[in-house]
Amino acid sequence: MNNLHIQKSAKNGLVFAVIIIFLALIGFTVTAASMIQKVFGVEVSVGTMPKYSALIAFLAFIGLWNGWRAAKQTEEHPLQAGHAILAGLASGFVTGLFALGYSLIVGTLQSNGVNVRVYLSSLSPESIIYFLFGQSPLSGGFIQLSLSTVSAAFGALLVIFWDRSQHQFLIWKQKLSAWGNASWPAKLRRNVFVGYIAMGVVLLLLVILPRTWGSYWNYVMGTVGIYVLLGIGLNIIVGYSGQLVLGYVAFFAIGAYSFALVTAPEPHNLNWNFWIAILVAVVASAISGVLIGLPILRLRGDYLAIVTLGFGEIIRILIKSDLLKEITLGPRGIRNIAGPTLFGKSFSSDSDFMYLIILAVLLSIFLARRWQESRIGRAWLAISQDETVAQATGVDTYKYKLLALAIGAAFAGLGGAIFASRNQFTGPEDHVLMVSINVLCLVIVGGMGSIPGVILGAFALKGLPEILRELESYRLLVFGALLVLMMIVRPEGLWPATRPKYEENSPPPVTVEGGSR
């Protein structure tokens, strides 16, 4: 253990100090504590703070992580227990010192009657007192300091255990995978019928669930489904053809509005049939994709991203503006949008909509697959990897990029139309930049270019926050955290794209022991 190690640990401590203070400033400490308490089955009543034990659990978790990282940073092989614990202690102590300082500053401000809420909306007096465990700033700060130091030391201990058990762990893992390959799960996996049975079960669930799980779940899963639709569309543009388009919401808006305008009684009183209106929305979006693509698809990379980003906003602002007020009703939005009918009967209960969305998703998956595996898909793949060379092999890159944009836009149009119809309303605020970012995030998180990835991504980014209501206001934070985590754990996405036709074997491994795979 030398100065360098201490320095590294102190730096690590500093990073965690920033994390803790940041989380405290945005009020996330309280949210996290409430969630922990809920996990243990104790509801937090409205207007009160969760128990202190929940806060301790949360802070201790961060402390453990702190110590873990500090001890790992020593990069010793094998790790010496004394050094690891010292690193953990040092890092935890530094973090604790800053937490102490923060407690003193905020606590003193608070007790002197300064209303910090003016500057930071989520820093309520209660949350400050909660952070200080109901004590004075000084003793609250010292609790923080000792908690941080002790938990970081434990975190370091964990690393030592981990280090010692790694070898054992590896042996176990090998045994487990050998068993897995030899026994029935593997045989099952190799059996073609299992695939069909699994597919059958999924289909059956898709048929049964919308009828049985109630309107709340239909609403949540319907939203997820619409985002799957959007994800598959954007995936064609970004994942397949490799064009970074940021204003995807524009096509969603065009779909929603063209659907709304031809079906709603106001402002034009056209009252068209649902299915024709859907077609109109899809075609309108696809055409707008081509029209926008014509001038801008010669741009590459960052330029394309920025221009399309602007385009998304322009559409929203146009819809909202006085300029088009006669046509779009401006900020008020369009109400009483028609629901679907089938053979003259209304087909717009929440479960009907769920079926509609499932159908749309299945159709889009089918189409996306077909295109991906065709000559067009091959051209997209080439363009996404090296546009110049694709051109040099005779691919009309401009045409295929335009095609990708039009198809992606059409999917967004379909999604927008269903969305507007389900809500019976659409307004400019349905089409904010955040929609584009959400869809792009789920494509990236799921795994660029992969359809199962898009579905997983939609569940993770649209389903989870809906289920964990608490996280709603921290969605951006969770996005950020998820994205960072993804980069580290699964840089290729949750379910990366593979093209099963060819194996992706890299050069054979240098040493093969035991000869089994």
Residues engaged in binding another protein (CB under 8 A):
378-379, 381-382, 385-386, 388-396, 502-507
Question: Minimum distance between the CB of residue 383 and another protein, rounded to whole angstroms?
Answer: 10
Pick 175 or 499: Cβ nearer another protein: 499
Question: Minimum distance between the CB of residue 235 and another protein, rounded to whole angstroms?
Answer: 16
Question: Minimum distance between the CB of residue 499 and another protein, rounded to whole angstroms?
Answer: 8
Contact (Cβ atoms closer than 8 angstroms) between residue 115 and residue 121: no
The Cα 213–Cα 219 span in angstroms is: 10
| Segment (H or E) for 335 | strand 334-335
For residue 226, give Cα distances in angstroms to 166, 202, 420: 44, 18, 11
Structure tokens at 52: 């202190």
Question: Minimum distance between the CB of residue 451 and another protein, rounded to whole angstroms?
Answer: 17
Question: Minimum distance between the CB of residue 376 and another protein, rounded to whole angstroms?
Answer: 11
- Burial string for 307-338 (b: 16+ CB within 10 Å, else e) reads bbbebbbebbeebbeeeeeeebbbeebbeebb
Pick 112 or 505: Cβ nearer another protein: 505
Handedness of CA 139, 140, 141, 145 (dihedral sign): positive
The Cα 198–Cα 193 span in angstroms is: 9
Pick 119 or 502: Cβ nearer another protein: 502
Question: Minimum distance between the CB of residue 386 and another protein, rounded to whole angstroms?
Answer: 6
Question: Minimum distance between the CB of residue 497 and another protein, rounded to whole angstroms?
Answer: 9
Contact (Cβ atoms closer than 8 angstroms) between residue 446 and residue 457: yes
| Burial class for 149, CB neighbours closer than 10 Å (0-12, 13-18, 19+) | buried
Question: Minimum distance between the CB of residue 496 and another protein, rounded to whole angstroms?
Answer: 11
Contact (Cβ atoms closer than 8 angstroms) between residue 383 and residue 400: yes
Tracing tokens 């289920």 back to the chain, one arrives at: 467
Residue 346: beta bridge partners? 341
Pick 377 or 427: Cβ nearer another protein: 377
Question: Minimum distance between the CB of residue 309 and another protein, rounded to whole angstroms?
Answer: 24
Pick 211 or 375: Cβ nearer another protein: 375
Question: Minimum distance between the CB of residue 379 and another protein, rounded to whole angstroms?
Answer: 7
Quick one: which of 502, 511, 474 has its CA closest to 28? 474
The Cα 184–Cα 477 span in angstroms is: 42
Reduced to 3 states, what is the DSSP secondary structure of residue 490?
Answer: coil
The Cα 446–Cα 454 span in angstroms is: 5
Residue 334: beta bridge partners? 426
| Burial class for 165, CB neighbours closer than 10 Å (0-12, 13-18, 19+) | exposed
End-to-end CA distance of the chain: 41
The Cα 414–Cα 433 span in angstroms is: 19
